[in-house]
Amino acid sequence: MNNQPIIIVAPNGARKTKENLPQIPLWPDELAIEAKNCVEQGASMFHLHIRDANQGHTLDVDTYRRTIDAIRKTCGDKIIIQATSESCGIYEPQQQMEMVKKLKPEAVSMALREFIPRPDYEVEAEEFFAWVKENKIFAQYILYSTDELKYFADLKEQRIIPEGDNFVLFVLGKKMAVSTVGNYAEPKDLDPWLETLKELKIDLNWAICAFGGNENACVSYAVKNGGNARIGFENNHLFVDQSTAPSNAALVKQFVETSSTKPLTAAEVRKKFGL
């Protein structure tokens, strides 16, 4: 049992809009308030997406900076802000890399399949991942299948993934604008990942996110098996009873209360990973 998990909050994602979910935080002031409330409930990391004026996904560096500044004014150093580099079908790998280099966030999430869509992208990706490491940016690699986990292990063996980079996110379920019962991830969806980890004999720090209204059960199962939890409106906006949550902080509170865990603080996460 991982009695002190990392709680990452994914407050908005790239797709849901105010029309889908009126309470979703999209703008700097909203995200700053949400981050503060999530810290108070036990979160230590904030998986940050930003939007353009039309609520569309963007990697605009100036918008990122304004949003990060707003969160820092509200939370100080009590939260680790993890910028997303997600392409969302808009950005090419080089554009994603340029954003990270200009922004230099404290932490960044990178989908492996977006940065290395084909083997011929490995050389450029290796150089970029090394730059991230050299600049002391806390990297998390997003994996969508157990085959990607095996590929990640191979890349580590080849040192394309830098030595020491061992924080990954397993994605359970599929992306959707609004959750529907037939698309809910389930706790058992984690089992193939756990089996693959045993087969690979690879030492990783891992978290999961889970699409749909079984999110709390999925992240609780992950924590019981030594993982960490990513919670929030990007993947789910429903309580256990399937009523709509008023905020991301309410979902974090539900998890902490139902799992009886004592999550790590941002300071403890920084110490654990040598940030």
The verdict on residue 241 lying in a domain is yes
Q: Give the per-residue pLDDT at 1.
A: 52
Residue 250 backbone phi and psi in degrees, to 5: -65, -35
Q: In terms of Cα–Cα distance, which of 21, 40, 114, 268 is closest to 11?
A: 21
The verdict on residue 1 lying in a domain is no
Please state, in angstroms and rounded to a whole number, the distance separating the CA atoms of residues 25 and 136.
Answer: 28
- pLDDT by residue for the chain (275 residues), tens only, comes to 567 999 999 999 999 999 989 999 999 999 999 999 999 999 999 999 999 999 999 999 999 999 999 999 999 999 999 999 999 999 999 999 999 999 999 999 999 999 999 999 999 999 999 999 999 999 999 999 999 999 999 999 999 999 998 999 999 997 654 444 557 999 999 999 999 999 999 889 999 999 999 999 999 999 999 999 999 999 999 999 999 999 999 999 999 999 988 999 999 999 999 98
Please state, in angstroms and rounded to a whole number, the distance separating the CA atoms of residues 28 and 174.
Answer: 27
- Which residues form the domain of 241? 7-273
The verdict on residue 218 lying in a domain is yes
Token pair of 222 as six digits: 């992950």
- Cβ proximity of 145 and 183 under 8 Å: no
The verdict on residue 82 lying in a domain is yes
Number of domains in the chain: 1
The verdict on residue 65 lying in a domain is yes
The verdict on residue 2 lying in a domain is no
Token pair of 145 as six digits: 């299948």
The verdict on residue 225 lying in a domain is yes
- Cβ proximity of 125 and 115 under 8 Å: yes
Secondary structure class of 127 (helix, strand, coil): helix
Axis-axis angle for helices 215-224, 248-259 (nearest 10) = 50
Q: Give the per-residue pLDDT at 177.
A: 44
Q: Give the per-residue pLDDT at 183.
A: 75
The verdict on residue 45 lying in a domain is yes
Q: Give the per-residue pLDDT at 62.
A: 98
Q: Give the per-residue pLDDT at 2.
A: 62
> Can you say whether residue 28 is alpha, beta or left, with left for phi > 0 and alpha for psi between -120 and 50 degrees?
alpha
Strands of 144-193 (E only): list them.
Answer: 167-172
Element (H, E) at 143: strand 138-143
CATH number, domain at 183?
Answer: 3.20.20.70
